[in-house]
């Protein structure tokens, strides 16, 4: 279908619970639409905290079909804009709370992985936000200052400190902990299996077409071959919010890219960090990043993004080819051995961005008992799991949900995206990618 993400990620296909198509009239206490990390985490935490609740999960395709199964698996603390910008926009107290919430989200995923005993190649470690460019150095300095002012423990690494971890000539880095790398598709599928074990019902190949407030109890969901009536609904559809015309502000689908290689030579693998090596992201937003795989290969992502809406399939494919070619060119510059390493996988996926870089987690305006989760951008692995658990608590009316999420809200800022504005927006995203390539 036009505009769908392309290529197969490098993750092995994991076992999934049975998911018949939804036919006829179905009821549930809670329906979760979207079987990515957010939706499945919500279903899992609901089932765990309220055994006996009748929960249905519906997906347009199958669990892990969206960004959750197509990510690159860097688990690290990050929420919303870079810390210095967060301080300027939201004030120091909120920015600090955001960062701490994202750190907690990472810890919770590590805990979930050990509770579920997920075979997902989990490697707890460090995440370096590093740079080789003057622009990145300036961005890093601003972030380091913000960390200091907020009292966050984010050490600055000199080139020597970086070389102890990765043999690439970066000029400076911030060391983020806790962090890890993992196979995001395996985690998503393991969550689906854990939900099924707790009695959650799955419906696959059942796209939500429309949502109505419902005349009886709760919302009515219209699907191609039936209807679903539920007391409460969670729309964990991430980048599909716009296609469904959900009134959650502007949540813009962006296509992003990744490649994976065959195993590197043992020398190159060790030099790039080895088994305990950190994931390395760039201080310049959207710049390429990499991590090593347990099997000896390397995954790289980033570098550019596209606004897929309104692009015909051939143009979209041409953009993908260019993005993958640039990523390959970039990774070959990391180490001479990589010049000869085969790229085995090239793929893309859809993330969901908001105008202020913050997610949307909250009740959908105009509908009672309907929540939306999405808009984490390219940093949603840990946050999506946290959001699912948070919404589960809210639906169950848990007496002490703790502090509300800093981005608990029903709408992102609205951006005028239609008519002549869309090409302008596309040009803006392209120009940003071009600028990134010049400095990185």
Ligand X SMILES: Cc1cc2nc3c(=O)[nH]c(=O)nc-3n(C[C@H](O)[C@H](O)[C@H](O)COP(=O)(O)OP(=O)(O)OC[C@H]3O[C@@H](n4cnc5c(N)ncnc54)[C@H](O)[C@@H]3O)c2cc1C
Residues found in the chain = 440
- Our finding on whether 34 is near ligand X (CB under 6 A) is yes
Least CB distance to ligand X at residue 420 (A): 27
* Binding track, positions 35-54, relative to ligand X; x by CB under 6 A: xxxxx---------------
Angle between helices 134-150 and 421-439 (to 10 degrees): 100
Among 28, 74, 147, 154, binds ligand X (CB under 6 A): 74
Please state, in angstroms and rounded to a whole number, the distance separating the CA atoms of residues 14 and 110. 19
Among 349, 393, 406, 433, binds ligand X (CB under 6 A): 349
Q: 289-292 and 370-374 as β-strands: parallel, antiparallel, unpaired?
A: unpaired
Name the token pair of 400.
Answer: 């002490």
- Our finding on whether 207 is near ligand X (CB under 6 A) is yes
Among 14, 67, 118, 311, binds ligand X (CB under 6 A): 67
Among 83, 200, 236, 353, binds ligand X (CB under 6 A): 236
Stretch that binds ligand X, among 20-28, 30-38, 113-121, 197-205 (CB under 6 A): 30-38
Q: Write out the binding residues for ligand X, residues 135-174 only, by CB under 6 A.
A: none
Least CB distance to ligand X at residue 35 (A): 5
- Our finding on whether 77 is near ligand X (CB under 6 A) is no
Q: Write out the binding residues for ligand X, residues 304-343 only, by CB under 6 A.
A: none
The H or E element that residue 346 is part of is: strand 343-353
The H or E element that residue 290 is part of is: strand 289-292
- Our finding on whether 384 is near ligand X (CB under 6 A) is yes
Angle between helices 92-116 and 134-150 (to 10 degrees): 90
13 vs 148 by CB, closer to ligand X: 13
The H or E element that residue 84 is part of is: helix 83-90
Among 240, 353, 364, 370, binds ligand X (CB under 6 A): 240
194 vs 258 by CB, closer to ligand X: 258
Least CB distance to ligand X at residue 384 (A): 4
Name the token pair of 281.
Answer: 């992201």
- Our finding on whether 17 is near ligand X (CB under 6 A) is no
169 vs 193 by CB, closer to ligand X: 193
Q: Are 254 and 429 in contact (CB under 8 A)?
A: yes
Q: Which neighbouring-strand residues pair with 259?
A: 300, 346
Q: Are 221 and 305 in contact (CB under 8 A)?
A: no
- Our finding on whether 61 is near ligand X (CB under 6 A) is yes
- Our finding on whether 287 is near ligand X (CB under 6 A) is no
Among 218, 308, 378, 433, binds ligand X (CB under 6 A): 378
Angle, vertex CA 195, rays to CA 46 and CA 192, nearest 5: 125
Q: 172-181 and 123-131 as β-strands: parallel, antiparallel, unpaired?
A: antiparallel
Name the token pair of 325.
Answer: 């070619």
Stretch that binds ligand X, among 22-30, 46-54, 83-91, 380-388 (CB under 6 A): 380-388
5 vs 393 by CB, closer to ligand X: 5
Please state, in angstroms and rounded to a whole number, the distance separating the CA atoms of residues 148 and 145. 5
Q: Write out the binding residues for ligand X, residues 247-276 only, by CB under 6 A.
A: 256, 258
The H or E element that residue 201 is part of is: strand 201-203
- Our finding on whether 238 is near ligand X (CB under 6 A) is yes
* Count of Cβ atoms closer than 10 Å to residue 181 Cβ: 26
Query: Shortest Cβ contact with ligand X: which residue?
Result: 380
Least CB distance to ligand X at residue 86 (A): 17
72 vs 143 by CB, closer to ligand X: 72
Q: Are 283 and 131 in contact (CB under 8 A)?
A: yes
- Our finding on whether 80 is near ligand X (CB under 6 A) is no
Q: What are phi and psi of 210, to 5 degrees?
A: -155, 155
69 vs 393 by CB, closer to ligand X: 69
Among 42, 57, 72, 356, binds ligand X (CB under 6 A): 72
Q: 360-363 and 289-292 as β-strands: parallel, antiparallel, unpaired?
A: unpaired
269 vs 289 by CB, closer to ligand X: 289
Which one, of 204, 220, 209, 249, lies nearest residue 370 by Cα? 220
133 vs 181 by CB, closer to ligand X: 181
Question: What's the Cα-to-Cα distance from 289 to each of 89, 182, 202, 307, 308, rounded to whole Å?
Answer: 26, 15, 35, 20, 22
Strand residue runs (E) in 71-163: 74-75, 123-131, 156-157
Among 162, 381, 386, 392, binds ligand X (CB under 6 A): 381
Query: What is the contact surface with ligand X in residues (CB under 6 A)?
Result: 33-39, 58-61, 65-68, 70-74, 207-208, 236-238, 240, 244, 256, 258, 301, 349-351, 373-374, 376, 378-381, 384
């Amino acid at each position: 279908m036009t505009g769908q993400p392309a290529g197969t990620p490098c993750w092995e296909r994991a076992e999934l619970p049975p998911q018949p198509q939804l036919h006829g009239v179905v009821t549930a206490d809670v329906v979760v639409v979207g079987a990515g990390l957010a939706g499945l985490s919500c279903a899992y935490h609901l089932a765990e905290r309220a055994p006996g609740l009748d929960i249905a999960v519906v997906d347009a395709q199958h669990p892990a079909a969206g960004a959750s199964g197509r990510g690159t698996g860097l688990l690290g603390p990050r929420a919303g804009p870079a810390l210095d910008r967060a301080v300027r926009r939201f004030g120091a107290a909120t920015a600090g709370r955001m960062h701490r919430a994202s750190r907690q989200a990472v810890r919770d995923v590590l805990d979930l992985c050990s509770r579920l005993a997920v075979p997902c190649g989990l490697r707890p470690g460090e995440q370096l936000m590093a740079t080789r460019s003057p622009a990145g150095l300036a961005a890093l300095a601003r972030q380091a200052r913000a960390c200091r002012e907020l009292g966050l423990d984010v050490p600055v690494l000199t080139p020597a400190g970086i070389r102890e971890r990765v043999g690439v000539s970066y000029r400076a880095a911030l060391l983020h902990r806790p962090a890890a790398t993992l196979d995001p598709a395996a985690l998503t599928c393991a969550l689906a299996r854990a939900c099924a074990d707790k009695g959650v019902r799955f419906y696959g190949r059942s796209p939500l077409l429309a949502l109505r407030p419902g005349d009886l109890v709760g919302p009515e969901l219209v699907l191609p071959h039936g209807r679903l009536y539920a007391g409460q609904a969670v729309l964990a559809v991430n980048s599909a919010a716009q296609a469904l015309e959900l009134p959650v502000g502007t949540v813009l689908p962006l296509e992003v890219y990744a490649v994976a290689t065959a195993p590197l030579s043992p020398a190159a693998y060790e030099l790039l960090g080895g088994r305990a090596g950190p994931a390395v992201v760039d201080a310049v937003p959207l710049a390429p990043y990499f991590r090593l795989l347990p099997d000896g290969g390397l995954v790289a992502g980033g570098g550019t993004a596209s606004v897929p809406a309104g692009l015909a399939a051939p143009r979209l494919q041409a953009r993908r080819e260019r993005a993958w070619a640039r990523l390959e060119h970039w990774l070959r510059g990391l180490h001479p051995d990589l010049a000869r390493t085969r790229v085995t996988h090239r793929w893309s996926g859809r993330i969901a961005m908001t105008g202020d870089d913050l997610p949307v987690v909250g009740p959908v305006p105009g509908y009672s008992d309907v929540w939306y989760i999405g808009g984490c951008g390219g940093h949603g692995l840990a946050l999506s799991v946290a959001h699912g658990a948070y919404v589960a608590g809210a639906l169950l009316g848990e007496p002490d949900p703790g502090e509300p999420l800093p981005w608990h809200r029903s709408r992102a800022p609205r951006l005028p995206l239609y008519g002549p504005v869309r090409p302008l927006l596309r040009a803006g995203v392209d120009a940003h990618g071009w600028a990134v390539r010049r400095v990185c």
